[in-house]
A and B are shown apart, each in its own frame.
Chain A
Amino acid sequence: MMDAMFPAAASEHAGRIDNMIDAVHYLMLALFIVWGVFFVYVLMRFRASRNPKADYVGVKSKMSTYGEVAVAIAEGILLLGFSIPMWAERVDEVPPDSESTVVRVVAQQFAWNVWYPGADGEFGAQDLSLIDEATNPIGLDRDSEAGADDIWTVNQLHLPVDKAAIIHLSSKDVIHSFNLPNMRIKQDTIPGISIPVWFVPTKTTAQIREETGNPDYVYEIACAQLCGNSHYSMRGFLTVHTEEEFQAWLDEEASYLTGSDDDFFDF
C-alpha cells in the first residue's frame, strides 16, 4: 500500500519490515474507517434538531467489547507473528564473522569514520592520543599488531552485495544515529559502547540506479539523532558493489597504504 513512499528497499529484511508497516497501517485504516463511519452517522442522526430528546441508556449492545477484543488480538498477532521474531533476528541472529563483511563505523561531529580491518581480518589497536582530525580521526595505531593494513575512510562505506555486513557502531563524542534508509537499518551510535548491526544488501548501487532510472541514485547514510549544529548535513554514502568490484576497491585502498602519501586522501 505504501511502498511508493518508502525509500527503495535494498536489503534482505527490508521487504518484511515494509510488509509489517503496511499491515499495521491496514489495521489503523480499518479502525479509523469504522470509527469514522460511526462518528459521521451519529453526528447527523442524533443532532438536536432531529433527535430533540436524548435516550438515557444509549447503546445496549456489546459490540464495542468485541471490537476491543479484536484490536487486542490483532495487536497480539503483530507482536508475536511479526515484531518480536523480526527483532530477535536483528539482534540475536548475527551471522558469524567468517561469513560476513565486518566493518567498524566511528561517528563523530559531523562525519562517519569507516574502518576496515584490512587483509588480515583483524582490527588494529586504537589510542586516543593518536587522534588527529586531519590524518587519523579514529586514533588507529599503525604500529599495533593488526593495525598496519587497516583501511579507513570518511563518509564512504563500501560493501559487497548478497553477503552479510556486520557494522560495529560507536561514537567519539555525542550520540548519533546511523540510518541507512534503503536498508531499513537505524541504530544509535553511543559513546562508550560498541553496538553491532547487520544486514544483507541485495542490490548493488548500479542495480538500484537502473531500477530507479536515476543514474545519480546513491545509498545515503543519514544521522537520525540530534548531534549538534551540523546534524542536518551529517551525510555519508554507501556503495554496494559486486564481490569482485568490492575486492578491487579494497585493493585500491590498500595500495595507498604502501604507495606515496600524496594519494592517501584521494577517496
Chain B
Amino acid sequence: MAEPVHASPAHDEHHHEQSFWRKYIFSTDHKVIGVQYSVTGLAFLFFGFVLMMLMRWNLAYPNEPIPLIGSLLGDNRAPGGIMLPDFYNELGAMHGTIMVFLGVVPLAVGGFGNFVMPLQLGAPDMAFPRINMISYWCLFMGGVTMFASFFLPNGAAGNGWTSYSPLADIALNGQTAWLIGMIFLITSSLLGAINFITTAIQLRAPGMTWMRLPFFCWAQIVTAFLLLLAFPPLEAAGVLQLMDRVANTSFFIPEGLVVGGEVLDRSGGGSPLLWQHLFWFLAHPEVYVLILPAMGIVAEVIANNSRKPLWGYRSMVYSLIFLGFMSFIVWAHHMFITGMGSVMSTFFQTTTMIISIPSVIILSALFISLWGGSIRYNTPMLFALGFLPMFGIGGLTGLPLGLSAADIPLHDTYYVIGHFHYVVAPGTLFALFAGVYYWFPKVTGRKMNEFLGKLHFWPSLVFMNGVFFPMMIQGLNGVSRRLADGGISYDFAGEVAGLNRMMSVSAWCLALAQIPFIINFFMSIRNGEKAGRNPWNSTTVEWLAPSPAPHGNFDQPIEVVRGPYEYSVPGSDKDYVPQAEPAST
C-alpha cells in the first residue's frame, strides 16, 4: 500500500481565479465534474422515462393514436399518431440503453462516485483530474450520439438494448450510431474506472486504512474494477459489430442467411452466440455496477439515520468483494435457452446460486443494522429504507430465473422485466434519490425540503409497485417481452393484457410523483434551509469540508483516527464521533 498523501491546509489559496469555461464547463475539479455527471444522468433518466411512457401508451392502448403528442412524432414513427412497431422497438432499445448507460451509471458512478468518494477519502481531488474531465466529455459525446440517433432517417437503434446479432448486424435502423455512441460511453467508463481505483489506492488521507473506508467507497472501488475488467470485451465486440455493419465483415454472421427471400451477400462463418457471450460478459457485471453504488449509498444513509454503526461492516466488505469477483462468472445464465448443454448450465446456475449468498448477507446486514437504532425518518432515510424490500423483491425474483429448468417458461417474459426493474428502479433509483437528498447540502450548502421530499417518496413507492408487480403476473402467464402490442396477438397473453392499463396508468402517475422532486431540486438550490458543514450529524470525512466544498476540498488537515460509523459510542457526549476528530482525552 502506498503512503497516503497529506491534504495541505488552505490549499485553494494558491489557485488563481479561473474563467467560467475552466471552472464550470471544462473543469478538472472532481466536484464540478461530479455535478456535471449527476445533472447529465438525471436529464437522461428523465428522457428515458419519457420514452417508456410512450411505450406504455402502445402497450395499454395498442393501435390507438397517442393523445396530444402523437401527431408531433412524424409519419415515419407514428402515422396518424398510431405508433409503428418499428418505433416501439426503437423506444424499447433506447429506453434500456439510456437508463443503464446514460442514466444510472453516470449518476451512481460518475456523479456520486466523483463527488463523494474523494471527499470521503479525505483527498483534495481525483488522482487524474484531466482524465476525469475527458471521461465526462466522452460520456457527453456518447449521450449526444444516442440522442441524435432518433433523428436519423431510419430512426434510432431498435434491436433491444442487447443488440443481438445477426438482427443488429442487418437492421436498417440507427444501430451504427448506437455502436459509435457505446464506444464513447465505454471509453468514458474505462477512463473513470482507472481514475477511481488510483484515487482510492493513492489519495486516502493519513489513517484512512482499508477497514476504515466508508462502505460507499468500497462499493465504488469494486464497481470500478468491474467496469475496468468487463467493459473491454464489449468495446471490442462493439467494434466488431460496427465492422459487420459498415465493412461487410461477418464476425457475428453465420453462413447462408436468407433475409426477406434473398440470400445475404456475406461470406458468413461468424457466430451470433459470440456476440451474446461478449455482451453478457459485460452486461452481467454491469448489473452490479448499477446495484453496488446503490448499496453503498443506502449503507451510508442507514448508518447515519439509525445513529448506530453498520452491523457486520467487515462481512459486508468481504461479501462485496466476493460479489464483484463472482459477477464475472455468471454471465451465461442470460443464455440458458440458446441451446446450452448440461455441463455449462450446471456451472452457470451453480455460480448464480452462489452469488445470491453475498447479496443476502449484505441485505441482511442492512436490515439488522436497524435493530437497536434510533431511527430518524427523514427523506434520504425513507428512500434508503424503501430500497431494502424493493431490492429484496428484485433479488428474490432472480432465483427462479437463475435455475435453468425454472427459467424455461420464464425466460424472455415479463417476469424478467419485472425482476430487473425491481432491482434497478425502486431499488437503485430509490438509493440514488436517497443519495441526492443526503448529499445535496454538501453540493449546494442547502438542504432540500422535507415535505416535498415525502410527497416524492410515498407516491413513488406506490406507483413503482403499480408498474412492476403486475409484470410478474404477466410473466408467469408466459407473456413475452418486447411485444409492441402488449401481447394481444396471442390468446394466452391476451388473458392478462388488461393489466397493461393498470401498469401504464401507474407509470404516468409515477411521472407526476416526480414533480415534487423537480420543484424541490431547483427551489432548494437557492432557497433551501442553510446546511452548514454537517447537517446530518454524520461521521464520515466529507462532512468536515465546508458546504459547498471549495477547490481542494478541505480547509483543515485530515487525519483519520477511527472507523467510519462511530455513532452512539458509549460514554461519548454526542451521538456521533467524526472519523477525523482527534480522540478526546
Contact = CB atoms under 8 A, between A and B. Distances in A.
A76 B493 CA distance: 33
A166 to B, nearest CB: 14
B568 A187 contact: no
B339 A193 contact: yes
A25 B400 CA distance: 8
A179 B476 contact: no
A248 interface: no
Interface string A46-68: 11100111111111000010011
B272 interface: yes
Nearest to B346: A84
B570 interface: yes
A235 interface: yes
A257 interface: no
Contacts of A218: 491
Best-surrounded residue of A6, A32, A83 (most CB of chain B within 10 A): A83
B480 A179 contact: yes
Interface in A7-40: 7, 17, 20-21, 24-25, 27-28, 31-32, 35-36, 38-39
Given A24-B406, A68-B357, A188-B339, A42 B370 contact: yes
B335 to A, nearest CB: 8
A6 B491 contact: no
A152 B371 CA distance: 67
Top 10 A-B pairs, shortest CB-CB distance: A192-B254, A55-B372, A86-B405, A181-B478, A133-B261, A195-B339, A174-B167, A54-B568, A232-B483, A83-B403
Interface of A: 2, 5-7, 17, 20-21, 24-25, 27-28, 31-32, 35-36, 38-39, 42-43, 46-48, 51-59, 64, 67-68, 71-72, 75-76, 78-79, 82-84, 86-88, 90-92, 108-109, 128-129, 131-133, 139, 172-175, 177, 179, 181-182, 184-188, 190-193, 195, 217-218, 220, 222-233, 235
A200 to B, nearest CB: 15
B400 A24 contact: yes
Contacts, number: 295
Contacts of A131: 258, 261, 263
Contacts of B473: 5
Contacts of A195: 339
A75 B272 CA distance: 32
A209 B369 CA distance: 55
A88 B341 CA distance: 8
B576 to A, nearest CB: 10
Contacts of A7: 477-478, 492
Contacts of B273: 190, 193
Given A222-B478, A226-B164, A232-B85, 11 more contacts: A2-B476, A21-B476, A24-B400, A51-B372, A56-B308, A78-B399, A90-B405, A173-B258, A186-B411, A230-B85, A233-B485
